[in-house]
């Protein structure tokens, strides 16, 4: 992340696995996987690179407050600290997005023990 570039900030969330509990197991969820929503702030630059902030929370309102503080800091001439951000992905439609998606599909197929059509 280049702190000198302009970034569009927004709140985001992702469903993550937080554990397994046999009491939650059923025909669809045979492993009893327990999930939760994790909320965080994303920053997107003009090239469509998406960066995720390292702080996450179960509380959407807490992330909204963090987002507000970040936006005020930027409006006052401050910069984002690259130490707290990690590269996540290219946003849809950005240059290179198609290649990134294809590589992810191939990797997922190989991890599942399948042969992706591009590898046949």
Q: What is the pLDDT of residues 81-112, one digit of tens each?
A: 999 999 998 887 777 777 877 788 888 888 88
Q: Where are the domains of the chain?
A: 8-91
Residue-wise pLDDT tens digits, 8-19? 999 999 999 999
pTM over 0.75: no
Cβ contacts of residue 38 below 8 Å, gap of 6+? 13, 14, 15, 16, 56, 57, 58
């Amino acid at each position: 992340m280049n702190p000198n570039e302009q970034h569009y900030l927004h709140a985001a969330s992702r469903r993550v696995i937080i554990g397994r509990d046999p009491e939650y197991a059923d025909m669809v969820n045979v492993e009893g996987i327990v999930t939760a929503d994790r909320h965080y702030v994303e920053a997107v630059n003009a090239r469509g690179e998406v960066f995720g902030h390292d702080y996450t929370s179960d509380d959407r309102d807490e992330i909204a407050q963090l987002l507000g503080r970040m936006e005020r800091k930027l409006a006052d001439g401050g910069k984002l600290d690259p130490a707290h951000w990690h590269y996540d992905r290219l946003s849809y439609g950005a240059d290179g997005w198609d290649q990134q998606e294809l590589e992810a599909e191939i990797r997922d197929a190989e991890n599942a023990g399948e042969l992706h059509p591009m590898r046949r």
